[in-house]
């Protein structure tokens, strides 16, 4: 009889260490397949269990599944990546090898998402309990100094998303704490070049990671695949990932085209490969078609983010009767005089074709996020087209 999928409630805060013995058995193949869900968040747990159905057998394709990790669900309906113990161990081992050896980890991400779960799994592989910063009510960089000071050496690591790094760099003591670590893995979303420069200038050892639930999290570090991972590009520049960390498929979707080729995962990202180094250009499904031309939001965001008055930004395509879509931008300004739309349009036009310059700009004091820290473009797009300009898309 095939094993039944079971929900694994994942506590927040220091209580999360209570599941480390379970995860040790997971890595040894001694547990039934588990679906991590956030303990204490009934709404999110219901969303995940409704879509991924614990209590039923795992798929034939995933008979040796250890974890079913929910994707962040760009469509609102999460898919479940079927991850084996072998794939999870390969991911953790390759990560430690790339970083210079096992170490102690600081958990500052929700552990029911793949990036946070990997911090726990790497801690199990290293034989050391992680130090935990509770992010249930948001990330407070003021907690970093004490947390980092509590981490045993000789090697110390953490994993963050760009929105957390933005906050940490605005907090001097938090910045200093991160600079004392051997590596800060940064993933979950694209890293704006100005943010990366700020972090490196502050002495933080940033390692940019690329990956997703379907690849056991980050599997490409600073553009170079981890040991056991292979990256290629299809004819449309789509990134395709193969190797030891690739999921067996999606729960309940045995014919999904992303896993049509055994051992490979077709992403939704476009990229380039130069001398074996991968650069992500942006998501193929987020490209904006405006006036018959294509604009990649992430390219425009990188330019906008280099403006000295821009703290964070998101570029969208919204419906337009004449152009099909028009390019617009939502900007979180830095303290001080707010940038004008004309300034930002001129800034983008000087670096890119005028087609990529946002035709409208709205200012906010924060961007909505989903999952571990990705900008929620669907929420922003709905807010832009349906809500009054004074509304907050995070509500």
Residue 298's pLDDT band, with cuts at 50, 70 and 90, is confident
Mean residue pLDDT across the chain: 91
Query: pLDDT tens digits for 265-290?
Result: 999 999 999 999 999 988 888 888 88
| pTM listed for this prediction | 0.85
pLDDT tens, residue by residue, 303-323? 999 999 999 999 999 888 888
Determine the pLDDT at residue 109: 95
Q: Which residue has the higher pLDDT, 146 or 74?
A: 146
- Given a cut of 60, whether residue 141 has pLDDT beyond it is yes
How confident is residue 391, by pLDDT bands cut at 50, 70 and 90?
Answer: low
As a whole number, mean pLDDT of residues 47-71 equals 86
Burial class for 388, CB neighbours closer than 10 Å (0-12, 13-18, 19+):
exposed
Strand pairing class (293-295; 310-320)? unpaired
**Domains (range + CATH), the chain:** 85-280 (3.40.50.12780), 287-386 (3.30.300.30)
Residue 372 predicted with pLDDT over 80: no
């Amino acid at each position: 009889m095939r094993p039944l999928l079971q929900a694994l409630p994942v506590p927040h805060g220091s209580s999360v260490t209570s599941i480390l013995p379970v995860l040790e058995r997971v890595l040894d193949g001694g547990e039934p397949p588990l679906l991590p869900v956030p303990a204490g968040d009934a709404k999110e747990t219901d969303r995940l269990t409704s879509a991924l159905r614990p209590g039923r057998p795992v798929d034939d394709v995933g008979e040796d599944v250890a974890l079913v990790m929910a994707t962040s669900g760009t469509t609102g309906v999460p898919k479940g990546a079927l991850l084996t113990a072998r794939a999870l161990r390969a991911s953790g081992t390759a990560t430690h090898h790339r970083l210079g050896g096992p170490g102690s980890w600081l958990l500052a991400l929700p552990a029911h998402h793949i990036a946070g779960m990997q911090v726990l799994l790497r801690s199990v592989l290293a034989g050391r309990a992680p130090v935990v910063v509770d992010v249930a009510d948001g990330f407070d960089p003021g907690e970093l100094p004490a947390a980092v000071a509590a981490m045993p050496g000789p090697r110390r690591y953490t994993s963050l998303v760009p929105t957390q790094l933005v906050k940490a760099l605005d907090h001097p003591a938090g910045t200093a704490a991160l600079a004392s670590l051997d590596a800060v893995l940064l993933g979950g979303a694209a890293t704006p070049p100005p943010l990366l420069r700020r972090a490196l200038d502050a002495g933080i050892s940033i390692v940019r990671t690329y990956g997703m639930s379907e690849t056991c999290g980050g599997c490409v570090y600073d553009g170079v695949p981890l040991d056991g991972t292979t990256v290629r590009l299809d004819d449309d520049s789509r990134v395709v990932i193969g190797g030891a960390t690739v999921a067996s498929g999606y729960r309940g979707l045995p014919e999904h085209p992303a896993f049509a080729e055994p051992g490979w995962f077709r992403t939704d990202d476009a990229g380039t490969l130069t001398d074996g180094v991968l650069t992500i250009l942006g998501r193929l499904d987020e490209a904006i078609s405006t006036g018959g031309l294509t604009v990649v939001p992430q390219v425009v965001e990188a330019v906008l983010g280099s403006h000295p008055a821009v703290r964070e930004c998101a570029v969208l395509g919204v419906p337009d009767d004449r152009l099909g879509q028009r390019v617009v931008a939502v900007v979180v300004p830095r303290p001080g005089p707010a940038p004008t739309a004309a300034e930002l349009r001129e800034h983008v036009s000087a670096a890119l074709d005028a087609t990529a310059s946002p035709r409208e700009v709205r200012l906010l004091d924060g961007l909505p996020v989903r999952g571990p820290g990705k900008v929620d473009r669907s929420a922003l797009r709905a807010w832009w087209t349906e809500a009054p300009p004074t509304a907050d898309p995070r509500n």
